[in-house]
Structures are given as structure tokens and as C-alpha cells.
Amino acid sequence: MSLRKDIQKFNVALKVFCDFSTESERLRIQSSLYLVTLVSDINKGIKAYLSDIEKGECKEVLGVDFKRLTQREHWLKNNKLRNDPLLTKNTPLKDFGINYEFDGCSIECTQNVVNILETGIDEMIRLLKEAKKKTLTAPLSLFGNFYRKQNREMADEFVETEYEEWKMNVGRLTYERLKEKQTLIVAEFLKMNVLRFAYHPSNREMEQVDLEKVKAFLPSNYELANDFTEQCAKFRRFISWQGERLVLDYDAYGKYLFQYFYMLSEEDRVALLAMDKWLQLIEQDMAKVKPEVKEATMDDMSEADIDEADQTIAMQRRIKSCIYEMTAEGTLKHLYDYTWVMMVMNETKEMPSFDTPTSFVDYMKQCGVKSMPTRSNITKYYDRARGEFPNWTFSDADGQEASRRNNVAKRFLNLMRCGNNSH
């Protein structure tokens, strides 16, 4: 059984135990011991879950109401366990013909059961809070790994069968027909409104959708949904173009699947995974009918021609180079100076931005920057900054130190915009 189902089962079992009574004292004691075992198993499961996240893995989505289930009052409301007339008698369990060991120790009396159960609930609350925090601050790669695991487990023979049937009916396979099929597959996917939980696109995102170009590859009688442009704008967040190849961003795609796993229907989840398979099959045939359509690399493309994905690589390489030069020249004197780098990136339109210090640290490591401060270190100094760049003030520094911190950001921005030989 999954960890999520175990938590749900414990939630129901504890409520039933507290709300209903039985004339059989022995049965009630046995029920309380079952709760002890169940919460213990749950805590072991959450610890394993946290360990997997540390390794960059996630085998399941908890999908529980963290806000409610991390409230002690939810589990121990009205002190029903403490007020239970049987459990508070402190009666030896042997009087009921029960011998029970927990974690290698014998539970002697009913009062011990209450204490162990409450301790287990408190630990579960702590672990659930940690699990919530870990998933909120996890690197995107965790969700990419989660997506790949889901994809491996999906039976996709039906996609291959449908694709081969389409190829049989289409006649001669050409690159243009494959492009048309690719566009139709995406349009049909968007029509299902699977991305309905994604936040509403901005005007900028809407303007980036070339609707006429999309329509050119769709059947002449194809009816677009009223919100098609909006759906396209959302979809663009999960893809990149490498030359003429449409490539799914598995990290972003996986994060959406993870975040809304239990809000999405089974049909939605299958559609998310099936579209990926469709695109893979189409791409394979594109490479056959037009061999020159291949993944571009930085070695065989100029910067002016690189696509969005390769621009990301170029950005990361430049950031690494800038950090290297700033370290060598002594501009980055302290690890906490990365705080000012993060802040100026967040305030600069053409630069990556970060919701949390963790996402910034993860990104910089992807860039190849090995020596980074901890998340808590960045948070501590971030909270001390006030105002806007280039005139930040600091609650813990003024004068030359405040000027130096602003200059760290200025130097980084200058290097990024003008090249590494600019002073």
C-alpha cells in the first residue's frame, strides 16, 4: 500500500477509535495497539520518502492536505485519547491477555499506549512538515526524474498502434505531413484542457503565440477552442525548440504532473504521458525523411542561430565564466556575496530569476559553480537588504561595506552584459 493511503487509513482509523466505543475492553486495547503500529509504519515511510528526495528521487506523490494534517488539534482534538476511561486506567496489558512489543520494548500498561501513540503522532506531524518543505524547495531535476519514472510505467503500446495506423492511411510520409501531425497532436492535447491548473498566462506570453503559423499546419476545417491561444501560451512553458525539433522540458512537465497529480484525472495523466510518446515517434520519422533535422550543438551553430534551449546553455556558461573572473579578481570576497548576485538577477529582465535561495543554488551548480553558500546563509543576508538595485541598503552594514555589496552586483551585471574583459 502507498504511503498516502497509509496516512489516509490512519486518519480514518483514529477517528473511528475516538468516536466509537465497544463493550470489549480487550478489543479496544488491540485497536489502540494497531494505531501505534500504523503510525510507526507511516513515520518509517516518510523518513524513506525524505531520503529518496535527498537522492533526487520521488517514488510517489503524497498529495495529502498538509495544512490540516500538520495541525496537532486535528489528530488529538478534544484530548479524546487522554480522556479515554480505559486507556487512562494504567491497567497492565497482561490483564487483558495481551503481550505487545514496540521497537524491541514491551508495552506494560494502557497508559504507555497513549504516550507512545501521541509521540508517534507528533513525530508524524514533524515529518510531514519536513516533507512539504522538501518538495517545495526541491530542484527541478527531482520532478524530471519523477516524470521519467511515470513514463516508464505507462503502457504505451496503444500510441504506437495508433501512430502506425495513421502512417498507413497518410500515404507517402513527408516532413511536412509529420509537422502537421505534430501540430495536430499538440492541438488535441490542448483541447483536453489538461493544463487547466497552470497559472493564467501574461500578456507577454499571449503575444508570443504565433496563431497563424500554428493554424497553417492544422486541417483547414479544424475548430480551435475559444481559449486556444491561452492554452498555447501555457504549453510554451513546458517546451523548447532545438532547431525544428519540439522538445519537452521534462523537469517543468514533471513538476506540473507532480503538483497536480491527484487533481488531474486518470485520463489527464495518460494524455500527458501519451503526448510525449507521440512526439518521440514523430521525431524519429522526421529524422528519417529529413536527416539534416538533428539536435543542434554549440559546436556547429553560431550564437545568433542557437535556439532557446541552447541560449540557456550559453547563459549558464557565461554565468560560470563571470563568477570565475569575479572570484579571481577578489570581487566575491565572501560566500554570502552570492546573495547580491541572486538579487540582481531577480531584478534584471533578461536574466534568470529565482523564487527561493534553494532554486538559485541549484541553478548555479548547474552552471558549474561548485563552491556555493547554504540556502540559510543566503536567506539570512537577503533579509537584511532593502530597496532596489543599484541603491540597496542593509540593516547590518553601511558606508564602504554597503557600497561594496552593491558593487558586487554591478560588476556581475557589467560582465554579463559586456563580456568578461570589461571593467
Contact yes or no for 410/391 (Cβ under 8 A):
no
- Residue 298: predicted pLDDT: 36
- Residue 300: predicted pLDDT: 42
Q: What is the Cα 107 distance to its own chain's centre? A: 42
- Residue 3: predicted pLDDT: 93
pLDDT at 299 over 70: no
- H/E element, 246: strand 245-248
| End-to-end CA, the chain | 61
Specify the range with the lowest mean pLDDT, choosing from 28-42, 185-199, 356-370, 404-418. 356-370
pLDDT at 359 over 70: yes
Mean pLDDT along residues 38-65: 91
Contact yes or no for 335/377 (Cβ under 8 A):
yes
pLDDT in tens, 10-37: 999 998 888 877 778 888 888 888 999 9
∠ CA 338-342-344 to the nearest 5 degrees?
Answer: 115
- Residue 292: predicted pLDDT: 61
Domain boundaries, the chain: 3-137, 143-289, 308-418
Write out the DSSP string of 166-221.
HHHHH-S--HHHHHHHHHHHHHHHHHTTTTTTSPPPPHHHHHT--HHHHHHTS-TT
pLDDT in tens, 246-297: 888 888 899 999 999 999 999 999 999 999 999 989 988 988 887 765 544 3
Name the nearest CA neighbour of 67 among 2, 132, 9. 132
- Residue 308: predicted pLDDT: 54
301 pLDDT tier (thresholds 50, 70, 90): very low
Q: What is the Cα 65 distance to its own chain's centre? A: 17
* Side-chain-side CA neighbours of residue 233 (13 Å): 16
Q: How far apart are CA 32 and CA 232, in angstroms?
A: 54
pLDDT in tens, 76-133: 876 777 777 777 777 888 888 888 777 767 788 888 888 889 999 999 999 999 999 9
- Residue 243: predicted pLDDT: 67
Specify the range with the lowest mean pLDDT, choosing from 135-139, 216-220, 382-386, 411-415. 135-139
Q: How far apart are CA 351 and CA 345, in angstroms?
A: 5
Q: How far apart are CA 5 and CA 417, in angstroms?
A: 52
Which pairs with CB-CB distance under 8 Å and at least 24 residues apart come from 264-271?
264/194, 264/197, 267/192, 268/192, 268/194, 269/150, 270/154, 271/189, 271/192, 271/194
Q: How far apart are CA 383 and CA 165, in angstroms?
A: 59
Mean pLDDT along residues 315-328: 86
pLDDT at 38 over 80: yes
Cis peptide upstream of residue 390 (ω within 30 degrees of 0): yes
